[in-house]
Amino acid sequence: MDMKTEIAARTQAAEQIIKQYLPIEEGYQKTVIEAMNYSVLAGGKRLRPILMLETYRMFGGRSKVIEPFMAAMEMIHTYSLVHDDLPAMDNDEFRRGKKTTHAKYGEAMGILAGDGLLNYAFETATKAFEIEPENSNIGRALQVLASKAGIHGMLGGQCVDVESEGKEVTEEVLQFIDKLKTAALLESSMMIGAILAGATKNEQKIVEQAARELGLAFQIQDDILDVTSSTEVLGKPVGSDEKNHKTTYVTLKGLEASAKEVEERSKHSVELLSSLVVKNEFLTNLMMELVHRKK
């Protein structure tokens, strides 16, 4: 399996699905819609929609019911990046090699574009009912989407992250931040795929655990790249953690120990997924690729 080719094909397919669900740029509120679409179409790995689709396929899912959730997940992820980049947060002017939303449209429109994407994500996800109105799993999938993005998920992690800037942070608090801020949306993506395909509660729990380990490894690798990579390779400013006085695994444990933790957690993630009866070779290979990425 040529992973580069396979990933490129799946990324393109996910991109097309996402584009189908973007709002039409019209009406008096056209500017905020343009800013929303600019944010989503600025690039990216489309990792979360791909993980969702591949988990769905692993459990035998074949319907288009997964597609509005794929688009919704990317909208939620994008809104978090738009708000992350704001002057009150990380104050970054470039992401994925392009101007951030607030740098292009102004701070107020950046805030509104993020708000718009979050709201439109749920409007989009509910379109799954139009595809399979009798599918009772859609309700549970919406529940997971909401909880993992909110105060007990990504938003909660972001809150603790902001409050921790400039302070000494323990490994326990750092792990809490990373579990919620980064891992929660990966958990949500893979769980939704499993739920919509009819996986058992025990299978869903294993998928959630595997995604959590993947998310932690992914974030630690991100911390490493913030120190070792370049703006040209990464597509966004490096050294932003240091600039914002953030404690990361690298500042807490050093590069070598952080790299070792990436290896251990990614290996555990794959082991958990491999314990399931159902298999998806591409999915497990993708998980390993993600934590060894250079950008």
The confidence score (pLDDT) of residue 224 equals 92
**pLDDT reported for residue 230:** 53
pLDDT < 70 positions in the chain: 1, 229-245, 294-295
Q: Distance between the two ends of the chain, CA-based, in angstroms? A: 22
pLDDT at 166: 86
Residue 261: its pLDDT value, please?
93
pLDDT of residue 43: 87
Q: How far apart are CA 216 and CA 175, in angstroms?
A: 8
pLDDT for position 241: 54
CA distance 32 to 117: 10
Nearest CA among 242, 237, 229 for reference residue 92: 237
**DSSP-derived 3-state class of residue 99:** strand
Task: Write down the domain spans for the chain.
Answer: 3-291
Which one, of 36, 22, 45, 184, lies nearest residue 114 by Cα? 36
- In whole angstroms, give the CA distance from residue 215 to residue 83: 20
pTM confidence score:
0.92
CB 215 within 8 A of CB 179: yes
Phi and psi at 92, nearest 5°, equal -100, 140
In this prediction, residue 191 carries a pLDDT of 98
At what angle are helices 201-228 and 184-196 packed, to 10 degrees? 150
Specify the pLDDT at position 233. Answer: 45
14 close to 50: Cβ distance less than 8 angstroms: yes
Q: Which residues on adjacent β-strands are paired with residue 99? A: 94
Structural class in CATH, domain 3-291? mainly alpha
